[in-house]
Structure 1
Amino acid sequence: MVLTPTLSIWTGLIMNVEKSRSIALYPIVLVIFEVIVYLSNDMYFPALPQISAEFSVSISSVQITLTAWFLGAASLNLVVGFISDYFGRKTVLILSAIIFMLSSVMCSLSGTLTNLALSRFFQGTAVASIAVAGWATVHELMSEDDAVRVISWMSSFTVIAPAFGPLVGAGLLLILPQQGLFSVLALASALALVAIVVYFPESNPKEKRRTVSVHLVLVDYWNILTNKTFQNNIISLSFVFSGTLAWLAACPFIIAQEFNGGPLTIGMVMLGVFVGFVVGSILIEKLIVKHSTQIISIIGLIVCLIASIALVIFNTYLTFNLALLTACMFIFSVGNGLSYSTLQKQGIESCKEPMGARMAIFSTMIALSAAFGSFMSTRMNESVSVSFSYFLIQISVIAVFIKIIGFLLSINRTLRFRTTS
């Protein structure tokens, strides 16, 4: 008679403890999985020259494996929301971790470039599950203030970790063949899979799941894509971002072929680019006190343009060296850091559609711009640094032009509104 309520009390306490433990640990589990997924690209860059030599293929052929990863990242953003609404967030993350682990194993076993590119595509698909299902869980299980704090520290990890990715990859290449990088990723993702199964809660249980009207979602997508302010800001952002990814794809070959640098040199130079992006992001905190996000984004784009002009001048008319190359790309990355979040904020906040739809479109456009940048790096001729510098100045001019036109049109609309009112 007494044991029954006592057992039920203890059972309830144990369940509450387990629930509290999951709530406390799941952001850590999510950020670990996210870092592993991003490292599959950033850690991979220093291995590109080695892969080119092992498969006896051209630079442009190997760079296709980067494009494949970004196409994978872009492929599911628009549909993974439906899937997680119907099957649950945790289920989607578990499936994603399994696919990532298996594709990493396939990468390590690939004997042809075609198999490697296909495996890299499936690796990239994990990005969508994190961006949609993973981050949705944080918003659904936490209060607004707690979610903001947690997302803040999670974002800091996901920015810092890729910054050291090329250096980590270069270090591993000193003791492992390029296949070893994928074996490390497979092992790490297997551990992340176990952690997701054990500690990740389901924020969308069966009783709360609902079917989504595909028609309404498509209408939301169309409204976002035809929003002129969204177009202006996100297209400008996408062009600059494509320049960054073209650099990441071309950098290993520029350093290896034109400067005779090894994996560690590649890792150090690429680290400088990520540090530049972080510096730009930090400068926003200083500038936002006196300037609008509109002005800060224009400043950032102009900095990118100045850096690309300097790169062309140094590369074409002066004696070019690795220090000048690194300095120009550092400055370009500072401009990218200044413009990225400010352009994103302006574009995203200009829409009235659900946040999930906005982020799905934004994530898809960014992933496609990354795929475009990495693909364009495959079109560069023998003098990769010269070809890259001209590509960088072209996309910088386009980004500045689009943003300035949008800025002037917004001023014109404001003046017309004031006149009529």
Structure 2
Amino acid sequence: MKNSIEIEQTTRLSRATFMFPLALVLFEFSVYIGNDLVQPAMLAITREFGVSSSWAPSSMSFYLLGGACVAALLGPLSDRIGRKKVLLAGVAFFVVTCLLILLTHNIESFLALRFLQGFGLSVIAAVGYAAIQETFEERDAIKVMALMANISLLAPLIGPVAGAFLIDHVSWHWGFIGIAFLAFLSWFGLKAKMPVQQQSIPKQPLSYIWDDYKKVLKNKTFLAMTLGLPMVAMPLMLWIALSPVMLVEELGLSSMQYGLAQFPVLGGLIIGNIVLIRVIDRLALGKTVQVGLPLMLLGTATVLAGVIWQEYFLFCVIAGMTLVSFGEGISFSVLYRFALMSSEVSKGTVAATVSVILMLMFFAVIELVRIMYEHFHLWAYAVSCVALIALWFTAPRAVLKNIMQQRKASGEF
């Protein structure tokens, strides 16, 4: 039985209704390039601050930790005072923190500002994505998420090359100025085009927030789908976090060669999202996941083969991660939809729970693999990727099959 929010999802995707996601994706692009442009510069930043290059992945992990720490509040808050108010305030806060980081002079203050900038991730995941799911019908919402993903993927494509340019010709400080400017522009677009929340949500006391979270966390279907999300997304996150160290320090690639190596990997994600958009109306929802995850397992096995035969590592890691990213592209938006709609609790709270779990797992795994990498180098990266995808074939896969069977029995395509 569909919940009340699903019933109210009557907006169809059109040029007019796409203006709100377009404004949101400009902010999403700003937040993502806030990581992808900075990561290539981290080797230069650590040298400037006089610390070891092993600190480089921490820029990303603290960014993710910041996202995890406020999601639990932002989702329920947006349920009560409105998504638009919270989203606009979050964009403004992100702009301010991007400008404040220009004043840092040591790695500790730099990472503290990276932590605060990470709040922008929660604004997108706990507020923006919830608004998208509420605004559009089921398959249109998945299409919008995939379209947004493709636009935001310009960040990891442009970011490494732009970051390399900044390192070689100017200063990393200009990157944050550009990021702040883009986010500032998105604020105006969201103010003009984001619809006001239509459904009526009871103005319950804040003490009810924990009761809502308990309802969400007791839902086994929600937990399986949500825990499956970082398993699917984590290998590519590890690639973004560790590829500067692997390709530049381990393999001796130049900053520009490192940037160019991102194109096939992230291009696979773009192609995967395009394929998802084209086939989503013709296949049973979830079928693309059943195709994508075996491809991802094959991709991680290819990366592991490159570690075993290291003379082929560069080819294997790029080919393997391209397969991984393609599989993620045809899978992630569908899994996110299943996770979000598996609970009857208000979608701001559900989206916040998803965001907290995702960000905390991202932070924990990146920091763990970073420490392992200091001792085991490429082996740590490859084995971690294989293990993460292999874990998906346990409980998450079984729950997905159960969801698809239930949808088929109830006549849902």
**TM-score of the alignment, normalized to the shorter chain, above 0.5:** yes
Residue 15 of structure 1: aligned partner: none
8 Å Cα contact 2:20-2:193 kept in structure 1: yes
Corresponding position of 2:296: 304
1:315 maps to 307
1:353 maps to which of 334, 345, 348: 345
> Which residue matches 2:267?
275
Q: In the alignment, what sits opposite 1:394?
A: 387
Once the two structures are superposed, residues 107-148 of structure 1 have per-residue CA deviations (whole angstroms, 9 ceiling, x without a partner) of 2221111101100011111222334444666788x7869x95
1:374 aligns with 2:373: no
Choose the corresponding residue for 2:224, options 202, 213, 232. 232
1:367 and 1:289 map into 2 onto residues whose CA distance is 31
1:353 shift after superposition: 2.6
User: Where do residues 113-262 of structure 1 align in structure 2 (5 Å cutoff)?
Assistant: 113-134=107-128, 154-193=148-187, 195=188, 199=192, 203=196, 211-262=203-254
Structure 2 CA distance, aligned partners of 1:199 and 1:108? 30
Whole-Å separation in 2 of the counterparts to 1:403 and 1:197: 35
Would you say the 8 A contact 1:351–1:358 is kept in 2? yes
1:333 aligned onto 2:325: yes
CA shift for structure 1 position 327: 0.8
Q: Distance in 2 between matches of 1:313 and 1:152?
A: 31
Tell me the CA shift for residue 251 of structure 1: 0.3
Query: Is the Cα contact below 8 Å between 2:27 and 2:183 reproduced in 1?
Result: yes
Q: What is residue 63 of structure 1 aligned with on the other side?
A: 57
* Alignment gaps of 5+ in structure 1: 1-21
Q: CA deviation at 1:331?
A: 1.0
- 1:266 corresponds in structure 2 to 258
Alignment TM-score, normalising by the size of structure 1 = 0.79
The question of whether the paired residues in 1 share the 8 Å contact of 2:150 and 2:270 is answered with no
Q: CA deviation at 1:32?
A: 2.4
* 1:403 partner amino acid: P
**Higher mean C-alpha deviation, range 267-276 or range 341-350:** 341-350
In terms of Rg, which structure is larger? 1
400-409 or 384-393: bigger deviation: 400-409
Distance 1:212 1:196, change over 3 A: farther
Distance 1:350 1:111, change over 3 A: same
1:106–1:116 Cα contact (<8 Å) kept: no
The question of whether the paired residues in 1 share the 8 Å contact of 2:95 and 2:183 is answered with yes
Paired with 2:395 and 2:111, the residues of 1 have a C-alpha distance of: 34
The residue aligned with 1:35 is 29
Q: Is the 8 A contact 2:145 2:333 kept in 1?
A: no
User: RMSD in angstroms over aligned alpha carbons?
Assistant: 3.6
Q: CA deviation at 1:169?
A: 2.5
Alpha-carbon distance between aligned partners in 2 of 1:316 and 1:388, rounded to the nearest angstrom = 13
Distance 2:222 2:74 in 1: 22
Summarize the Cα distance change of 1:229–1:182 in structure 2 as closer, same or farther, 3 Å threshold: same
Greater shift after overlay, 399-408 or 298-307?
399-408
* Structure 2 portions without partners, runs of 5+: 1-15
Taking the aligned partners of 2:72 and 2:214, their CA distance within structure 1 comes to 12
1:281-300 superposed matches below 5 A: 281-285=273-277, 292-300=284-292
Specify the code of the residue in structure 2 equivalent to 1:78.
Answer: A
The number of residues matched between the two structures is 390
